[in-house]
Structure 1
Amino acid sequence: MEAERQAAWELYVELATRISVVELRPDEGLLREALSSLYTVFGTTREILRRYGPSVAPRVAPGRVTFGALSITVLNNSIRPLLSRWHPLLAAHEATRGEHIDPVAHERQWERAAELRAEIESVRQVLLGLAQALNEVAGVGDLITVRVPHQETSETRS
């Protein structure tokens, strides 16, 4: 079905270009940025579902999954629980930052930072699975794990 293929492509591009599918290492990025990136996936998914309408969520035989059902399931069972739990906890911690304290250092000193990073990683794995399914439905090349060939420079020769 062409509508499902187009919708899958749109959400795939969204996921492939966000923090949501890129590993957030302990010394990289901000937790707030990661949560904000995941939050935007909600708006984008809703927009795609509205644009393509019922054609991406038809009644199907048991065992078959539609774009609509898959995307809503991931939103409600993976992203929503993470955001509803951690957004207020992180906001409370952020509110304790003094005006002359670096926000990155303050966030990294939070005693729950590692726990949140672990949960973000768990959701990232779910989103990678979703992205792989979307990639298959869209019938396109992999945009997430592609590696750019190393180009030799004068510094790497010798």
Structure 2
Amino acid sequence: MGRAPKTVDVRLKLPMLEIAGSWEPNDAERRAAWELYVELVTRVSVVPMRADEGLLREALTSLYSLFGSTREILRRHGPQIAEPKRDGQYNFGYLAVAMLNYGLRPLLASWHPALEDWESRRPADRSRRDHERAWPEADRLRSSLDGTRQVLSAYADLLASACGIPNLLGAIPPAPTDG
């Protein structure tokens, strides 16, 4: 990660919080940023899901698992990735916790119980997929997932910048449009 810039411009617009300023990541923060970056770009969190693809439950489960992955990264790298910086600069710890609490938690807190309630009403002779597609709220949840995907994509961009790498999301071809 030798090409990594000394300072990274931070501009993140979360559902209930806007983060703007700068971040001068130390080596431990860059290693943690790489680990979280890999978690983000390899799951549904940043890959668009077409209306006829996947299960909403699987998408929510994947997003929920980011809590465990991020906690593990924070524990493994220790306090040096959350040390206060001069002039109010951001640190990896703050950015990671903000991602969880303001980028993911609102979506999961709202939609997880709503989908769980619908799932509990599935008739025995109906597949999980067919039942989920019949849910009147499915399109709204897909829209919410897309909004969260945009937030997490901005995080992925930030983490790639901190690591001094091109954003690997360019390797993901855009989803074909319906119609």
Q: TM-score, normalised by structure 2?
A: 0.79
Match of 2:141 in 1: 116
Cα distance between partner residues in 1 of 2:78 and 2:43:
24
1:70-120 Cα offsets, whole Å, 9 max, x none, are 110010012011111111110010011111101111101100001111111
Structure 1 residue 141: Cα displacement: 3.0
Match of 1:40 in 2: 65
Structure 2 regions of 5+ residues with no counterpart? 1-25, 174-179
Are residue 132 (structure 1) and residue 157 (structure 2) matched? yes
Are residue 59 (structure 1) and residue 73 (structure 2) matched? no
The runs of at least 4 consecutive aligned structure 1 residues that moved more than 4 Å come to none
* Structure 1, 59-68 or 122-131: larger mean CA deviation: 59-68
CA separation of 1:97 and 1:122: change in aligned 2, threshold 3 A: same
Cα distance between partner residues in 2 of 1:91 and 1:147:
30
Are residue 79 (structure 1) and residue 88 (structure 2) matched? no
Aligned with residue 104 of structure 1, among 113, 129, 150: 129
CA contact (8 A) 1:5 1:139 kept: no
Cα distance between partner residues in 1 of 2:150 and 2:97:
17
Which amino acid counterpart does residue 71 of structure 2 have in structure 1? Answer: R
Across the two proteins, how many residue pairs are aligned to each other? 148
Structure 1 residue 65: Cα displacement: 1.4
Match of 2:4 in 1: none
Structure 1 residue 129: Cα displacement: 0.4
Aligned identity (percent) is 49
Which amino acid counterpart does residue 15 of structure 1 have in structure 2? Answer: L
Structure 1 residue 63: Cα displacement: 4.8
Cα distance between partner residues in 1 of 2:45 and 2:132:
19
Cα distance between partner residues in 1 of 2:87 and 2:98:
16
Cα distance between partner residues in 2 of 1:14 and 1:71:
12
Quote the RMSD (CA, aligned, Å): 1.3
Which amino acid counterpart does residue 115 of structure 1 have in structure 2? Answer: R
Cα distance between partner residues in 1 of 2:82 and 2:72:
14
User: By percentage of residues, which structure has more helix?
Assistant: 1
Q: Secondary structure at the match of 1:21?
A: coil
Structure 1 residue 53: Cα displacement: 1.1
